[in-house]
Chain A
Amino acid sequence: MSLPPVPSYDADPAAVRDCAAVLLAASAQVDDLGSFAAGSAQVAGWTGLAADAYHAASRPTGRRGDAVSLALRHVARRVDAHADALESLRVRRDVLLDERARLAAELADVPTATATGATAAVRRFAADVAGWSADLAAEEAGMRAVLTRFDRLDGALRRFGDAADPADAALSRLPGHGAPPGVVKAWWDGLDAAQRRAVVAAAPGAVGNLDGIPARWRDAANRVALDRDLAAWELLADLGRLGDDEARWLVNARAAHEAVATAQAGVDPVTLQPVPAQLHLYDPRAFDGDGAVAVAVGDLDVADDVAVVVPGLGSDAGSAPYQAARAVTLYESCRVLDASATPAVLAWVGYDAPDNVPWDGGPDAGWDGAGVVREDHAARGGERLADAVDGLRAGRDGEPAHVTVVGHSYGSTTAGHAAHDHGLPVDDLVLVGSPGAGGDTDHAADTGLDPSHVWAVANSRDAVADLANHGAFHLESLAGGGLGDDPAEDDFGARRVRAESTDRAALPGLADHARYFDHDTEALRNISLVVTGDHDAVTLAGPVTDPWWGPPHDPEWHRPPEAPDTDGRP
């Protein structure tokens, strides 16, 4: 009695999925061509023989473009489904391999005379292998049929030449600019699946950054937009025809691409499976070319605990890979500390942070670093942040998430403004390495949250945290300078957590300002516990005090730091 072999299998579902993304981006590009030919390329008021000839030639080009776009979209969807099928077949094959190993061990121990049961098991196994092979063959045949049907222009025209784009009717009902996220969500819920897919493919820019659209659809749209932009600008670069603006946008697009790759390379420390990644915000042209990018690690639509990490000085689209790596680290820590948690961490570069400091980048780099000691950027960014969190909440179905905003450095000032000025709808607010919570936020209660849900994370060597106002002297009263009060100080009323690092420097400096999200640090552990809602496990630190008769005093200065495990690695 012999066991049939399990057929070899070298399919790469990830590569197939990449192919689907390329096809979808191509569909968007061709759709743009069709729209151009039918719209801007038509010259109103131009008449005569030449005009007739021009219009007679250009209109069919537009129609052909639309048909080809729809065909590409159709094929892309089928290729994406093919990737799902290949992945499913791979999992089934792994089960067959394990079953074969188990049967082989069993057969080696079974005497021939009592092998009836084993024979039946082998027959069942053989049938399962045959079924798997048949399913694989059927899937490949189906995929080939679709590719063959649309491998020529006439195939696309036959099927889609007179077809209406489902996106058109859907987009005609798109809520106007500034519509509340709830209205946007209601519009989206009113579309059927085909319309949603069509909108994502035909007009990714219309929904990719629209608050109220569910995160997985924003991700789908933004990936189409990103792939389309990269293809277009890389081509212009190759041709030597890239303008200055486009060159900046290309840098931002590449950074967004790298940020997504960084997030996707993350591995869940509990299951060892890849973590979901979402491109939640992609606007390479935003803020005069600084760009806006937000990448999530985890699924924002279904996570029980959502953290929005707001970076500070110098953050722009170019820093997105760094922010994505930080999000991976926080996600890993949340999972290591609570294996039952379902977190999602959004690295949000969605506001115009002050540019880098003047000594970094050279004299020609340009900077608005003066903004770092003023609150203008934080005040404007706070409004955007509150809108973004509103959008996150509105885009979800089912139970509301436990949402925490984690503002680092100048990002904590931005978060403070979002809370004080715009009623930031969060459950917890974490101010990390804060140079000030904003001029109008003198106390944790001024954020609108219960002070027990406002957390200060500041280590004793962080020179940036020292920038915040202490004691009774408030710098914001002098010509608008300064960023507000120190959240780690006793009279602010927040809960200060332990945040020292075993690598901390002897003196205050900038290095310790950048260590709050390092693995195996007190800060990352405590931030993670706030994010997952395990507040009782947070280790608290004594607040900074600043008596009127002397300078500030930090009780954490002499405490030996600990190195808790946050990555699960030995």
Chain B
Amino acid sequence: MTEIRSTASAAAALAVLAVTATACGGGGDRVDHTGAAVLERQRAEVRATAVALATDLSGATGGEVQSATGDWDGCEPAFADRFAGVRYAATVRLSLAGWEVPPRQRAEVLAELLGDPAEGAGDTGALVRTAPDGHEALVEVTAPCVEVPAGERDAWLVREEPTPDLPVPARGR
């Protein structure tokens, strides 16, 4: 392997880039090469996981869900300032106000209650964080990045989620 940088002229280097871009699809190489149907499926999975986590969390703390939404996000940067892929992500914000656990201890107790929230989430990643003041918890669920054809990327990015609000049951004090 060489550690020598190319001294090609700009024009020649552009030609090299053209070959490279064609070879690697013009973007990153860490995305799953699957289709749009996967994105629809992961939408359902992420939403279900987020709702389940929010329900568990609300049940354990008596906290109220402030907001619970999901949408498609771009992921995996590609050459020429675009995303190469799309994934579904959901966020739930939960108030912990009124929980009998004092605010300073809430993060620790919550972690013990939940264990590893990513367990049982399948391919999706789940993360629960507690605000430093102990008044809120944030649940973030994201699916793996899925590559979409270059011509469809912008459309996916601005695609309207038909029902951004998650069906989290009303709960709380």
Whether B5 and A554, one on each chain, are in contact in the complex, defined by CB atoms closer than 8 angstroms, is yes
Alpha-carbon distance between A23 and B100 when the two chains are bound, in angstroms: 42
Beta-carbon contacts under 8 Å, B1-46 to A: 1, 3-11, 13-14, 16-18, 20-22, 24, 26-30
Alpha-carbon distance between A510 and B83 when the two chains are bound, in angstroms: 13
With a cutoff of 8 Å between Cβ atoms, the chain A residues found around residue B157 in the complex are 255, 258, 321-322
With a cutoff of 8 Å between Cβ atoms, the chain A residues found around residue B81 in the complex are 311-315, 319, 322-323, 408-409
With a cutoff of 8 Å between Cβ atoms, the chain A residues found around residue B10 in the complex are 373, 435, 467, 475, 481-483
Whether A271 and B154, one on each chain, are in contact in the complex, defined by CB atoms closer than 8 angstroms, is no
Secondary structure class of chain A's binding surface, majority of residues: loop
With a cutoff of 8 Å between Cβ atoms, the chain A residues found around residue B98 in the complex are 6, 94, 97-98, 100-101
With a cutoff of 8 Å between Cβ atoms, the chain B residues found around residue A315 in the complex are 80-81
Q: A183: CB under 8 A from chain B?
A: no
Alpha-carbon distance between A6 and B91 when the two chains are bound, in angstroms: 27
With a cutoff of 8 Å between Cβ atoms, the chain A residues found around residue B77 in the complex are 322, 326, 514-515, 517-518
Alpha-carbon distance between A267 and B137 when the two chains are bound, in angstroms: 12
Whether B170 and A10, one on each chain, are in contact in the complex, defined by CB atoms closer than 8 angstroms, is yes
With a cutoff of 8 Å between Cβ atoms, the chain B residues found around residue A314 in the complex are 79-82
B interface bracket (residues with beta carbon within 8 Å of A)? 35 or more
With a cutoff of 8 Å between Cβ atoms, the chain A residues found around residue B16 in the complex are 463
Whether A359 and B135, one on each chain, are in contact in the complex, defined by CB atoms closer than 8 angstroms, is no
With a cutoff of 8 Å between Cβ atoms, the chain B residues found around residue A473 in the complex are 7
Chain A, residues 110-148, CB within 8 Å of chain B (1/0): the string is 000000000000000000000000000000000000000
Chain B, residues 91-103, CB within 8 Å of chain A (1/0): the string is 1000101111011
Alpha-carbon distance between A544 and B3 when the two chains are bound, in angstroms: 11
Alpha-carbon distance between A273 and B130 when the two chains are bound, in angstroms: 11
With a cutoff of 8 Å between Cβ atoms, the chain B residues found around residue A570 in the complex are 127
Q: A321-B74, A464-B17 are in contact. Are A6 and B173 (CB under 8 A)?
A: yes
Q: With both chains docked as a complex, state the minimum distance between the C-beta of A364 and any C-beta of chain B, in angstroms.
A: 12
Q: A104: CB under 8 A from chain B?
A: yes
- Return the chain A residue nearest B154 by Cβ: A318
Whether A514 and B18, one on each chain, are in contact in the complex, defined by CB atoms closer than 8 angstroms, is no
Q: B136: CB under 8 A from chain A?
A: yes
Q: A270: CB under 8 A from chain B?
A: yes
Whether A360 and B80, one on each chain, are in contact in the complex, defined by CB atoms closer than 8 angstroms, is yes
With a cutoff of 8 Å between Cβ atoms, the chain B residues found around residue A273 in the complex are 131
Q: B78: CB under 8 A from chain A?
A: yes
Interface 9-residue window, one of A54-62, A170-178, A217-225, A500-508: A500-508
Q: A569: CB under 8 A from chain B?
A: yes
With a cutoff of 8 Å between Cβ atoms, the chain B residues found around residue A318 in the complex are 154
Q: With both chains docked as a complex, state the minimum distance between the C-beta of B33 and any C-beta of chain A, in angstroms.
A: 15
Q: With both chains docked as a complex, state the minimum distance between the C-beta of B120 and any C-beta of chain A, in angstroms.
A: 17
With a cutoff of 8 Å between Cβ atoms, the chain A residues found around residue B8 in the complex are 466
User: Which of A8, A510, A550 is B21 in contact with, Cβ under 8 Å?
Assistant: A510
Q: A271-B131, A315-B81, A569-B127 are in contact. Are A467 and B3 (CB under 8 A)?
A: no
Whether A265 and B91, one on each chain, are in contact in the complex, defined by CB atoms closer than 8 angstroms, is yes
Q: With both chains docked as a complex, state the minimum distance between the C-beta of B40 and any C-beta of chain A, in angstroms.
A: 19
Q: B158: CB under 8 A from chain A?
A: yes
Q: With both chains docked as a complex, state the minimum distance between the C-beta of B64 and any C-beta of chain A, in angstroms.
A: 8
Whether B13 and A467, one on each chain, are in contact in the complex, defined by CB atoms closer than 8 angstroms, is yes
Q: A315-B81, A322-B77 are in contact. Are A552 and B4 (CB under 8 A)?
A: yes
Q: A50: CB under 8 A from chain B?
A: no
Q: With both chains docked as a complex, state the minimum distance between the C-beta of B116 and any C-beta of chain A, in angstroms.
A: 10
Beta-carbon contacts under 8 Å, A266-313 to B: 267, 270-273, 311-313
- Return the chain B residue nearest A509 by Cβ: B20
Q: With both chains docked as a complex, state the minimum distance between the C-beta of B135 and any C-beta of chain A, in angstroms.
A: 6
Alpha-carbon distance between A270 and B95 when the two chains are bound, in angstroms: 17
With a cutoff of 8 Å between Cβ atoms, the chain B residues found around residue A508 in the complex are 5-6
Whether B5 and A511, one on each chain, are in contact in the complex, defined by CB atoms closer than 8 angstroms, is no
- Return the chain A residue nearest B7 by Cβ: A551
Most buried by A among B80, B127, B131, B150: B80
With a cutoff of 8 Å between Cβ atoms, the chain A residues found around residue B102 in the complex are 102
Alpha-carbon distance between A503 and B29 when the two chains are bound, in angstroms: 10
Whether B3 and A514, one on each chain, are in contact in the complex, defined by CB atoms closer than 8 angstroms, is no
Alpha-carbon distance between A94 and B66 when the two chains are bound, in angstroms: 11
Q: B132: CB under 8 A from chain A?
A: yes
Q: A6-B98, A255-B154, A510-B27 are in contact. Are A552 and B7 (CB under 8 A)?
A: yes
Q: A273-B131, A510-B24 are in contact. Are A558 and B17 (CB under 8 A)?
A: no
Q: With both chains docked as a complex, state the minimum distance between the C-beta of A290 and any C-beta of chain B, in angstroms.
A: 13
Whether B20 and A463, one on each chain, are in contact in the complex, defined by CB atoms closer than 8 angstroms, is yes
Q: Please name 21 pairs of A and B residues whose Cβ atoms are closer than 8 Å in the assembled complex, sorted by A.
A: A94-B98, A97-B98, A262-B73, A267-B138, A272-B132, A321-B157, A322-B83, A322-B157, A325-B73, A357-B18, A360-B80, A361-B150, A460-B3, A466-B13, A470-B7, A482-B9, A506-B1, A509-B20, A514-B78, A552-B6, A553-B3
Closest 10 CB pairs of A and B: A97-B98, A314-B80, A94-B97, A557-B3, A552-B5, A514-B77, A97-B97, A510-B79, A272-B131, A482-B10
